[in-house]
Amino acid sequence: MSNSLFGSNSPIDRIRQRKRPAVRESARPCGAPRAALTPQDEALLLEIMAEPMDFMDSPEFRKAGAEQAIYEKPAPIARPDVTWYRPLMDDLSEKEQKQRQSRNGSVLLTAAQERVIFLQFNYARWRVRQIQDGLQGRSPTTEEAREMIRWYRLARRYREQISEINLALVLAMARRVRLGETDFPDLIGEGNMALMRSVDKFDCGRGFKFSTYACRAILKAFSRFGIKLVKHRQRFPSEFDPEFERSNHLETVRLQHERDSAAEVRFLVESDRADLTEVERRVILHRFGLDAPSDRPSLTLEQVGQMVGLTKERVRQIQNKALEKLRLALEELRGEALPPAVSRN
């Protein structure tokens, strides 16, 4: 393969350059190596620069030594073990879920601990927003990009930690609602998304517990999901149809056999292999619809008689005689190799 496809000016490299975030190189000592961002950091920087970082403000952020007071003085909060949270895999009762949760070491936060972790989460987001606002439309330097990425990853880690601590709220609220035929996995998914949004919007400075705020948000999400589901089913109604649950293989085989047999009879009639008279040929063609489209029903004996000018009984006799000739010709034909055109029809 040609090396020109993957050189420094290749089409693939030009696409990567267009998607790469614009970062100004910072001043560095002469001879110092260039500190470039990794591809993972570049992708994350694009995500950060896509829109301003949202955060819940607090006067604690602007105090002297805020970073040390928020992150170093409080005791660290352990990250919970969430291996018990498998609502889509295990069909456990509420009691069994609580037993598994307590056995795996759940984390219950006090009001003070909850305030600390939300301050840590929002302070990291506030630092990202401060750098974004300081850019004023210009490209960030390498140091500014690294600083934003560091605070963004820290905020994401705290967001995940808070969500994992409060996962039990989703199960508790899901068991309280009754939404008819709603699938439980869909309900859990809506609850998880509502929990994540609650983490982003909760203001710990108002003095409320996070569970109070999150439970209302989760129940509202369930209500909106139920309304959306009802409207969808009203617009696209579907009922149980037993025909869809039954295999039609035998019917398909039977129809295919009929089509093959009709093709063989048509070949015998058109090639005159059965030595049919003109009247017998017309009776067979009209009686079994060999001269008509496949969706048209076959004619009765009386209808065929009106077309050829004979009585119904006489048409029946001619039909039986013609069928006997066709049967003998078909047995003779099947003893030979059928022409390719017959096998294709």
Per-residue DSSP letters for 332-345?
HHHTSPPPHHHHH-
Rounded to whole angstroms, how far apart are CA atoms 324 and 338? 20
Q: 123 and 66 in contact (C-beta within 8 Å)? A: yes
Domain ranges in the chain with CATH number 1.10.10.10: 249-344
Going by C-alpha positions, the residue among 123, 116, 120 that lies closest to residue 57 is 123
Query: In CATH, what is the architecture of 35-235?
Result: Up-down Bundle (1.20)
Domain ranges in the chain with CATH number 1.20.120: 35-235
Q: Right CATH number for 249-344 from 2.40.320.10, 1.10.10.10, 3.40.140.10, 3.90.640.10? A: 1.10.10.10
Give exposure, 107-131, as e/b (b: 16+ Cβ within 10 Å).
Answer: eebeeeebbbbbbbbbbbbbbbbeb
| pLDDT values of the chain reduced to their tens digit, one per residue, 345 residues | 444 444 555 665 555 555 567 677 655 555 445 567 888 999 999 999 999 999 999 999 999 999 999 999 888 888 888 877 765 545 545 555 555 555 555 678 899 999 999 999 999 999 999 999 999 888 899 999 999 999 999 999 999 999 999 998 998 898 888 766 677 888 888 999 999 999 999 999 998 999 999 999 999 999 998 888 888 778 877 666 666 666 777 888 888 887 777 777 777 777 777 778 888 888 887 777 776 666 667 788 888 888 888 888 888 888 888 888 888 887 777 666 444 444 433
> Degrees (nearest 5) of the Cα angle 210, 216, 222?
130
**Two structure tokens written together for 60:** 């604690």
